[in-house]
Amino acid sequence: MIQYDGSGFKGWQNQKDTITVQGTLEEKIAELDPIRPVKVIAAGRTDSGVHASGQVVHFDCSGPIPTNRWASALNGRLPSSIKVLEAVSVPSNWHACYSAKHRRYRYSIFNGSYPNLFLQNISWHRYRSRLDINLMKKALNDLLGLHDFAAFQKAGSTRINSLTTVQDVSISRDGDMVTVEIQATGFLYGMVRLLMGQLVSVGEKQLSLENFLHRWRNGLRSEVKEAAPPHGLCLIRVGYEEKLFSKEKSFDTFPSFSLPTFESSK
């Protein structure tokens, strides 16, 4: 299990002539176990700028390093923006992506009137109006279950269809901080950011709840134009049928904030 600050990476997946989380991990693993080519597989391919506090990856190794030493060995070589929380052994047929039963993302929105330096890399600052989280909750609840989410899929996806099952949703406000969580069996390419762009428009009453429902139920991708920025999004948990990690390492480690509502807030 690993966590990373996605600010300095062009996403998870390897790309030519750019820095990615996958490429950085593979480079450091190869330094410790150079016998075979290194391929690291993730439970979810996060986009450029997206964070992870509970990403799960797997790779094959053949060197002398025992499983319980991999975390400390890698953390001594990785940049400060990537940390290995725990390493465990798994059967050869286990797969970080295909064995997963769910993924859970959190999106953080700072809804205060003035910017906050310490939140700018991990939240979306929306300050023009007070978000109506009751409307946003109604929009979210309608997503539960197995549906076709073509309206929230970016171009370039290699999936054969746009079906997925949303298992759980939640939204909460603590002062000026609004937090949205979505758990699903899997996510389409760009799904959460496109959804959040629409959801915030509902909360700001720029998009009616009825139009939101009409767009996604009818797969009107052409009407879903704004994607939320990546820095507010974090992969916080991946679930498997078996328990893999020790309890303390499985807790959500992405920070949540309690921010007072100032009188100047709109």
Structural domain boundaries of the chain? Answer: 2-84, 101-245
What is the full per-residue pLDDT of the chain (266 aa) written as tens digits? Answer: 999 999 999 999 999 889 999 999 999 999 998 877 899 999 999 999 999 999 999 999 887 889 989 999 999 999 999 999 999 999 999 999 999 999 999 999 999 999 999 999 999 999 999 999 999 999 999 999 999 999 999 987 778 899 999 999 999 999 999 999 999 999 999 999 999 999 999 999 999 999 999 999 999 999 998 999 999 999 999 999 988 988 666 666 777 776 666 554 44
Domain 2-84 has CATH 3.30.70.580: yes
- Active-site hit among 5, 17, 33, 47: 47
3-state secondary structure of 217: helix
Residue 197 CA to residue 71 CA, distance in Å, equals: 36
Residue 207 CA to residue 3 CA, distance in Å, equals: 35
Structure tokens at 171: 């939204």
Q: What pLDDT is recorded for position 263?
A: 52
Structure tokens at 10: 């062009």
DSSP letter (8 states) at residue 69: G
Rounded to 5°, the CA angle 33-66-247 comes to: 120
Q: Could you confirm whether 47 is annotated as catalytic?
A: yes
Rounded to 5°, the CA angle 263-180-193 comes to: 110
Sequential DSSP letters for 147-166:
EE-GGG--TT---S--EEEE
| Domains 2-84 and 101-245 belong to one CATH topology | yes
The CATH number of 101-245 is: 3.30.70.660
